[in-house]
Amino acid sequence: MSARIGVVTFPGSLDDADAARAIRIAGATPVALWHGDANLQNVDAVVLPGGFSYGDYLRCGAIAKFAPVMSLIIEKAQAGLPVLGICNGFQILCESHLLPGALTRNDHQHFICVDQKLQIESNETLWTRDFVPGQQIVIPLKNGEGGYVASEATLDELFSENRVVATYVGNNPNGSYRNIAGISNKAGNVVGLMPHPEHAVEALTGPSTDGIPFFTSVLKSLVGAT
Amino acid sequence: MIDSVDTAKKNPDTSQPWAELGLKQDEYESIKQILGRRPTSSELAMYSVMWSEHCSYKSSKVHLRQFADKAPKTDALLVGIGENAGVVDIGAGWAVTFKVESHNHPSYVEPYQGAATGVGGIVRDIISMGARPIAVMDPLRFGPADAPDTRRVLPGVVAGIGGYGNCLGLPNIGGELVFDESYAGNPLVNALCIGSMKHEDIHLASAKGVGNLVVLYGARTGGDGIGGVSVLASETFDADGPAKRPSVQVGDPFMEKLLIEATLEVLHAGLVEGIQDLGGAGISCATSELASNGEGGMHVYLDRVPLRDASLSPEEILMSESQERMCAVVTPEKIDKFMALCKKWDVEAVVIGEVTDTGRLVIEWHGEMIVDVPPRSVAHDGPVYERPFHRPSWQDTLQADAPTPERLPRPSTPEGIKQTLMDLIASPNLASKSWVTSQYDRYVMGNTVLAQPEDAGMIRIDEETGLGVAISTDCNSRFAKLDPYAGAQLALVESYRNISVAGAKPLAVTNCLNFGSPEDPEVMWQFSQATTGLADACRELGIPVTGGNVSFYNQTGDTAINPTPVVGVLGVIDDVDRRTPMAWDEDGDLIYILGETFDEFAGSEWAHLQGHLGGLPPKVNFSMERLLSEIMVAASRDGMITAAHDVSDGGVGVAITEMALRANKGARFWIPDNIDPFVFLFSESTARAIAVIARTEELRFTEMCAARGMSATRFGVVDSGLGADSGYPGEQVIVVDSLFTFTLEALREANEATLPALFGG
């Protein structure tokens, strides 16, 4: 039986169907999770997809962290459940304090949608094992509030503990400190990414298929665990 | 004091503000005749908005009839003109609905909200047919790119479209961005949405079944968007009510996203008998249209409508254009399930009335009857005008001023031709649009196969089979100014061609007809010519008009905009994997020009850059357009072709530059025999495309063209290794033999710098 990966739908989630497709393409079974249900249906991992949860009229992700499903996810993530937050999901992970720092409005003030070059900095997380450090990939980036900020001390710590998962190559698209595109928690089971790997899983519809390894990585770790 | 039906009967001579509401004396008289008494203030409010040009199409109706009268026979149309949007069969049980609408004036007054709610309105049209919206597109037209007001309007419009569409999770896959003096005081913001559904999910706006319940759901009703009738709110109806209202609606895309999901869920659960979105004219429109299309009767309790502002008068509630609202007709047995699904999505829903068999639309306000009308008289039997029209006095002079070499000197030296190409690709109309499109999400939903700057947007509908649709909108309004009949046809053939070069078969047409005042006989002549031209062209090409929108009064003072009949064509492709992109890829692939090039510069981008507009637009050749389409679709299906691009704005020179930039790979070209290089590179003759063919397929392709009578001339070859020999080692270059050499870097810089320089980084 293939691994079961949950995808949470909040009101205003947009990339939930895309995340489910990416999970399928990677060889796992996507399981729909509903924001209002405090029930994880025994999934092996969770993806928090992109979008504008609850409209994001307050700080992005600030309301989503109070959703019934999130209290369970926060608890299980602290116990080792693999969780990937993409874009709005990354914002929710920061608001939930599963990851340090915050995402702020792009420095140029515009929403931006581009095919973004990234460098994978760490493959020591459950979501990046199938990459090699230094590997460059191109996946879509689309956000209005994607500028990663944190204190100098936190930034130093993220780099020294090898918790910066990916950095922007070439131009910094949103003003993120030290070009940070994604980070992980200390244990490496929780990863937040501003760019969208789920939009780069088919050559037909994406700029590449460079997003697939994020999803296959977690499958390996799940197989390894059982 | 409520002006009830009783009051109206008792006080027949009360003076009423019909003129301020935009009604004509004879229109007011005919309302009195229909009712057999003077209307109540609520009835007057309803008639005034429903009989407005925007809602009633009173000036355009007699011309629009041609789209149905001349429609070619087709099995593809499941729902035709007249519903919220037409529905087209694309095979395998799938159907597609699409429509484009204008939101010009609101976007001029308040660019962000005007454009945002334009997207919201067209999306609700699509969901009210039972379809899931799958993509949006925005044809935009502004005054000169460097005009101060363009700097005010454009960034807000783009941010509004992005802010709303991105938040809804709909990919924006293309559109248009055109700058022209004629839009300086009246930009055009048109919004298109396309939706897909299974045949069995098609729903219509009708209130059937006596005793069924009328549910209003979505956002609360506020005072926003009372629009041109704000005079009501401040003066006539209720002195105690709130004063002047903002006339532009304010959008809440998050509520719209919930509305989409809730609506699709109640439709798929089979809980809905009839459904209608609330757009222009709000509750007046929704209740009267639902009733008129159904059994003919409805009883509404207006005081049940949830309000954002408790002080609103009934007249204001009837006319409010608050966004993100829908109206559904539900049987009493299913109402609990309906309400539960709305609650699941946190969407407020209230039963505001029921379907009756009285043949009357009756509206109550706290127990008093304030409306009692035959719904058809409000919704469908409004006034119809045969507006006078005549050919403008200046038309002949304009057409006589052709851009001949004597009138408009042409560059003849290689340097001059080289500079012309550079000037064209850096001009605002032909420059890279990525400053705009990078503010839109084109990836969401994961089914975008082609998006701007490709010729057409293409969306996969069925992941199993690869069935997909392509869509494009076009209009060169300079052509339409020179000859509105031909101009509308040229818009259609360009859009048709854009679909075909992407590998899809054109199926159906929608339009957004943007014109000046219908009360100006010269504008009315343009409208009459354009609609006739479009209807005739649709018949020639064998594709029907499925719906559309008319926007009149686009003018500043007495000066109307260029007639701008924006035409959208929808096509189907059996397997999106077979699509033809515009970028060439393989070294050695051969580059062909299909079709013939004539000396046609009137209304062209080159003439526009010289500040000239005159002459007769390029000739339309329907049989060649059809043939070109069939060849492009066959070449895609049979794997003969690796890339293709439509030749239109800026001619062959601009087309090959765009292909090279998209590919980031150079190529060598030569000018075919017996044609002037300037004419070959920059003329805008129709029925042409550039096709890129693998050497192994060349014979099969050229034989097909020869057998079918399509002119195909080889004039280039893809070559990524030209840099060294041309003096640019390591660089990608375009070489046109004995004329010029360009590095792609230089072209890209010129092409991409223009819009950021104008509108900020």
> Which pLDDT tens digit goes with each residue over A138-152?
999 999 999 999 999
Is the pLDDT reported for residue B761 higher than 90? Answer: no
Beta-carbon contacts of B208 under 8 Å, excluding residues fewer than 6 positions away, are B273, B274, B294, B295, B329, B355
CATH at residue A155: 3.40.50.880
Shortest distance, CA B267 to any CA of chain A (angstroms): 19
Instruction: Say if A68 is an interface residue toward chain B (CB within 8 Å).
Output: no
Residue A17: which of B445, B449, B577 has the nearest Cβ? Answer: B445
For chain A, give the number of residues. 226
Q: Which of B184, B163, B164, B188 is nearest to B175 (CA)?
A: B188
Chain B interface includes A25 (CB < 8 A) = no
Place of tokens 């992941």: B463
Going across the sheet that includes B712-718, the strands are B641-646, B689-693, B590-594, B712-718, B667-669, B733-736, B740-743
Contacts of B449 in chain A (CB under 8 A): 204-205
Interface contact B254-A11, CB threshold 8 A = yes
Whether the pLDDT of residue B81 is over 90: the answer is: no
- Give me the pLDDT at residue B243, please: 41
Contact A12 B257 (CB under 8 A): yes
The predicted pLDDT at position B231 comes to 37
B54 is catalytic: yes
Residue B507, pLDDT above cutoff 90: yes
Structure tokens at B627: 């043939």
B611, HSE (Cβ side, Cα atoms, 13 Å): 0
Q: CB distance B258–A11 less than 8 Å?
A: yes
* Least confident segment among A24-28, A197-201, B381-385: B381-385
Residues of chain B with CATH 3.90.650.10: 201-379, 581-761
Helix (H, G, I), strand (E, B) or coil at A211: coil
A101 touching chain B per CB within 8 A:
no
pLDDT recorded at residue B238: 38
Q: What percent of chain B has pLDDT over 70?
A: 96
A175 interface with B at CB cutoff 8 Å: no
Question: What confidence score (pLDDT) does residue B241 get?
Answer: 40
| Distance to chain B for A57, nearest Cα, Å | 9
Q: Given the DSSP bridges, would you call strands A29-34 and A4-9 parallel, antiparallel or unpaired?
A: parallel
CB contact under 8 A, B162 and A11: no
Task: State both tokens at A223.
Answer: 């197989």
CA distance B231 to B206: 32
Provide CATH code, domain B201-379.
Answer: 3.90.650.10
A84 close to A45: Cβ distance less than 8 angstroms: yes
Res B223: pLDDT: 84
Continuous segment of H or E residues that includes residue B48: helix B41-50
Contact between chains at A205 and B257 (C-beta distance less than 8 A): no
Question: CA of A59: how far to CAs of A195, B163, B413, B451, in Å?
Answer: 19, 16, 60, 31
What is the CA B610 to chain-centroid distance, rounded? Answer: 29
Q: Which of A35, A87, A145, A199 is catalytic?
A: A87
Instruction: Confirm whether A94 is a catalytic residue.
Output: no
pLDDT tens by residue, B227-275: 443 333 333 333 444 344 455 678 899 999 999 999 999 999 999 999 9
Task: Please give the tally of structural domains in chain A.
Answer: 1
Residue numbers in A near B761 (CB within 8 A): 108
Catalytic residue (choose from B54, B105, B299, B645): B54
Share of chain B above pLDDT 90, in %: 86
Compute the residue count for chain B. 761
Mean pLDDT within B643-647: 98
The per-residue pLDDT of chain B, averaged, comes to: 93
Q: How many Cα atoms are found within 13 Å in the side-chain-facing hemisphere of B118?
A: 33
Mean pLDDT of A101-123: 96
In the prediction, which pLDDT does B239 show? 40
Specify the pLDDT at position A224. 58
- How many angstroms separate the CA atoms of B742 and B559, rounded? 42
Q: What superfamily does domain B581-761 belong to in CATH?
A: PurM-like C-terminal domain (3.90.650.10)
pTM, entire model: 0.95
Catalytic residue among A95, A121, A145, A198: A198
**Binary contact (B439, A202; C-beta < 8 A):** no
| Sheet with B132-142, side-by-side order of all strands | B77-79, B87-91, B94-102, B188-198, B132-142, B172-179
Identify the closest residue of chain B to A37 by CA–CA distance: B344
Which two tokens mark A146?
A: 């994607």
Task: Using an 8 Å CB-CB cutoff, list chain B residues near A14.
Answer: 167-169, 257, 444
Cβ contact B449:B635 at 8 Å? no
* Residues of chain A contacting B169 with CB distance shorter than 8 Å: 14-15, 51
Whole-angstrom Cα distance, residue A109 to residue B501?
Answer: 37
Residues of B in contact with A114 (CB under 8 A): 438
User: Hey, is the C-beta of A211 within 8 angstroms of any chain B C-beta?
Assistant: no
pLDDT at A62: 92
Q: What is the pLDDT of residue B393?
A: 96
Q: Chain A: give the shortest CA distance to residue B169, in Å.
A: 5
| Token pair listed for B167 | 């938040």
B interface test, pick of A24, A111, A143, A208 with most B CB neighbours within 10 Å: A111
pLDDT tens digit string along B580-638? 999 999 999 999 999 999 999 999 999 999 999 999 999 999 999 999 999 999 999 99
CB contact under 8 A, B443 and A110: no
β-strands B213-218, B590-594 pairing:
unpaired
Segment A101-109 shows an average pLDDT of 95
Q: pLDDT category, B83, cuts 50, 70, 90?
A: low
pLDDT at B247: 58
Looking at A60, A121, A145, A196, which residue is catalytic? Answer: A196
Catalytic choice (B103, B299, B608, B645): B103
- The three-state secondary structure class of B231 is helix
Between A15, A52, A206, which is nearest B167 by CB? A52
Task: Give the pLDDT confidence score for residue B295 in this predicted structure.
Answer: 75
Q: Please write the tens of the pLDDT for every residue from B221-237.
A: 998 777 443 333 333 33
pLDDT at residue number B661: 98
pLDDT band at A1 (very low <50, low <70, confident <90, very high): low
Q: For tokens 């063919």, what's the residue?
A: B693
Does B234 or A220 have the greater pLDDT score? A220
ω into B453 cis (within 30 of 0): yes
For testing contact with chain A, the best of B324, B441, B465 (most A CBs within 10 A): B441
A215 and chain B in contact, CB less than 8 A: no
State whether B257 and A18 contact (CB < 8 Å).
no
pLDDT bucket at A9, cuts 50 / 70 / 90:
very high
What mean pLDDT do residues B506-528 have?
97
Closest CA to B738 of B692, B696, B677: B677
Instruction: Residue B260: name the closest of B157, B82, B99, B129 by CA.
Output: B129
Residue B282, pLDDT > 80, answer yes
Residues on chain A touching B445 (C-beta within 8 angstroms): 17-18
Instruction: Give the B-side interface with A, CB within 8 Å.
Output: 159, 162-163, 166-169, 252-255, 257-258, 345-346, 437-449, 460, 463, 576-577, 761
| Distance from the B261 Cα atom to the nearest Cα atom in chain A, whole angstroms | 9
| Cβ–Cβ below 8 Å for B439 and A111 | yes
**Does B447 contact A205 at a Cβ distance shorter than 8 Å?**
yes
Instruction: Note down the domain range covering A73.
Output: 4-225
- Which residue is associated with the tokens 């079709």? B595
What is the per-residue burial (b if ≥16 Cβ within 10 Å, else e) of B691-722?
bbbbeebbeebbebbeeeebbbbebbbbbbeb
Give the integer Cα–Cα distance in Å for A23 and B424. 46
CA distance B156 to chain A (A): 11
